[in-house]
Amino acid sequence: MNIQESHLTKNQHLQIYKLMLSCRAIDKRVWMLNRQGKAAIVASAQGHESAQIASTVALEIGKDVFFTYYRDLGVLISLGLSFTAILQGFTAKSGEPMSGARQFPTHGAIPDKKLINLSNVVGTQIPQAVGAALSAKIKGTDEVVIVYFGDGASSAGDCHEGMNFASIHKLPIIFFCENNGYAISVPLNQQIATDNIASRAEGYGMPGTTIDGNDVNLVYETTKLASRRARNGEGPTLIEAKTYRHSGHSRADPATYRPEGELEKWLERDPLKIYRKRLIDFGVKESKVVAIENAVLKAVDDATEFAKNSSTPSKDVLMTEVWADGGSSWRN
């Protein structure tokens, strides 16, 4: 879909590009820190930027509820999580807002941003998100819940149970599958017997659509349509955004299982390269694009230094905010 066909304004397009650049730059920086032994684990979002960011900005940030998984760095950045906070999380430093640097990076919750990511066990966020959608329907809050997951999670029992329940009760939820073709090392054709994950939607009685996850405008418009359905009481939608991770499953995965030439083919369709070209073709001056790129890199450098100089959490805060009553003294 061309930029001209989108309902986004020129400024919105520039903001999306800035978010995509931010995600890529932070991701690369975390990988560098991991190689230096300063970040423990990394599950890269490189290649997923369009799918994550365009779907997030299509919703009502501050109102709608976001359930993410371990690769959703772009969603966090789109919701306003600062570079500093993200890097403090990956380097386990004080000030990290999601879990106080006590969880797997990017896990925990930020209630005022309506961001929830409680476990990195594959698929567990799906029934949790369905529960939040049921709550929204009962309370009549007009919220839409979106839950992100990979193609591997679509094979989990939690996914079936969540989609089935949401469809029966016409809950206001969007199931957003980031299909990068691999469940760690297992290719899609060994996970499902159909060509597309979205084809399963018919069996649950909800619409399902497969889209190019590297097309910002298409992801935005598809998610916007699904949110309108949800808000109108028409129930859930399954969106399958086909994309590709540029790295292995994590920093520990060399991805030697991929066929020769596959990565190079997908790198030609790098979402950042595609969107940058579209912006310039749309009439945005290249000097303005370069200025945005330079500003993002400087901001990442500044955040890196701040995170490096941040202190590590004290053992005194180990149990802070673990219990609903605010403390654990009576348990000791």
Indicate which residues carry an active-site annotation: 245, 249, 257
Q: Is 204 exposed, middle or buried (0-12, 13-18, 19+ CB in 10 A)?
A: buried
The dihedral sign for the CA sequence 250, 251, 252, 253: positive
Kindly state the DSSP code that residue 158 receives in the 8-state scheme: H
Helices 271-282 and 286-309, packing angle to 10 deg? 140
Amino acid at 115: L
Cβ 8 vs Cβ 225: under 8 Å: no
The enclosing H or E element of 141 equals none
* Six token digits for residue 152: 């591997």
Dist CA 92 CA 104 (whole Å): 9
Cβ neighbors of 74 (< 8 A, separation 6 or more) are 19, 20, 23, 45, 48, 49, 51, 52, 53, 56
CA angle 263, 218, 174 (to 5 degrees): 95
Of the candidates 139, 132, 120, the residue with the CA atom closest to the CA atom of residue 236? 132
The dihedral sign for the CA sequence 53, 55, 56, 60: positive
